[in-house]
A and B are shown apart, each in its own frame.
Chain A
Amino acid sequence: KAGVTQTPRYLIKTRGQQVTLSCSPISGHRSVSWYQQTPGQGLQFLFEYFSETQRNKGNFPGRFSGRQFSNSRSEMNVSTLELGDSALYLCASNSRGSNTGELFFGEGSRLTVL
């Protein structure tokens, strides 16, 4: 069974640009959540999608957005990049429709903003 796949794995952008990250969950998993990981703030919840609907949102500015497609693949977008957006962005999928069960994380997309 294939795991959670995130692309791209590494990318470098400059301030003001935008970026789109992609996540393919484990087959059959309908919940996809996104986390930002930085050395200073640790793992912070961005948002979660289930059956193409955003169910939960963390405390991030509106520059951070996401969506989920009918095949459960998800994308997140960050517009007007700032230096502080440099981080590892992790996607996690879950087979459960309610309550947080085991999260299966991808290896992440490491974003560097110059």
Chain B
Amino acid sequence: QKEVEQDPGPLSVPEGAIVSLNCTYSNSAFQYFMWYRQYSRKGPELLMYTYSSGNKEDGRFTAQVDKSSKYISLFIRDSQPSDSATYLCAMKPLYGGSQGNLIFGKGTKLSVKP
């Protein structure tokens, strides 16, 4: 079983739609969860991070973590064409190593149509 599973899409939605992106994981040691946005041939750009179960909101973005189900989500409200990118979930344990060894999902490619 892969450590982090993410539906690669592609996901195509009309402008203004609510987008739901999800990842599941198998390692219960993962405690920190991040969402990155990656444009084609560019570096991952940090959108949000959280370490507790529940919701965290930042503008049009809401990150949701359910540790009991090992399931995380990113919601994008009022999606815009500029949101078109690949969204990567990443996670890591609380302890161990240099705390930089992020485990990434494969990414979901999102296209928002005008």
Do A and B belong to a common assembly? no
> What is A's interface to B at a CB cutoff of 8 Å?
none
> What is B's interface to A at a CB cutoff of 8 Å?
none
